[in-house]
C-alpha cells in the first residue's frame, strides 16, 4: 500500500515522534508505515486523516501488488 504520510507530516511540520504521540503508537510504527512495511488498522488510518485534515484516500492508495 502506497502512502503519503511523510509528505503530510512535512506540510504540518510534524516529526515522526510528534505524530506517534498524537496517534498513540510508537515512532517505529510511524516509520514502518512511511516505509511501506506496516499497513495501519482502519482506526489508525482514520486518526491520521483527522490529524492531517484530509480523507483517508488522500493518504493511502492501493497498488496493483496489493491485489495478489
CATH code for position 6: 1.10.260.40
pTM of the model: 0.91
Question: Does 52 fall in a domain?
Answer: yes
pLDDT at 44 over 80: yes
Domain that holds residue 17: 2-63
- CA-based Rg of the chain, rounded to a whole angstrom? 11
Split into its structural domains, the chain has a count of 1
**Exposed, middle or buried: residue 52 (CB in 10 Å: 0-12, 13-18, 19+)?**
buried
In a domain, 22, yes or no: yes
45 assigned to some structural domain: yes
Residue 54 lies in a domain: yes
Whether residue 68 is contained in a domain is answered as no
User: Mean pLDDT throughout 54-61?
Assistant: 97
Residue 68 confidence (pLDDT) above 80: no
Amino acid at each position: 500500500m502506497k502512502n503519503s504520510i511523510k509528505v503530510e507530516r512535512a506540510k504540518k511540520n510534524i516529526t515522526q515522534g510528534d505524530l506517534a504521540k498524537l496517534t498513540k503508537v510508537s515512532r517505529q510504527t510511524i516509520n514502518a508505515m512511511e516505509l511501506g512495511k506496516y499497513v495501519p488498522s482502519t482506526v489508525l488510518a482514520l486518526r491520521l486523516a483527522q490529524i492531517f485534515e484530509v480523507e483517508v484516500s488522500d493518504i493511502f492508495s492501493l497498488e496493483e501488488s496489493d491485489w495478489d
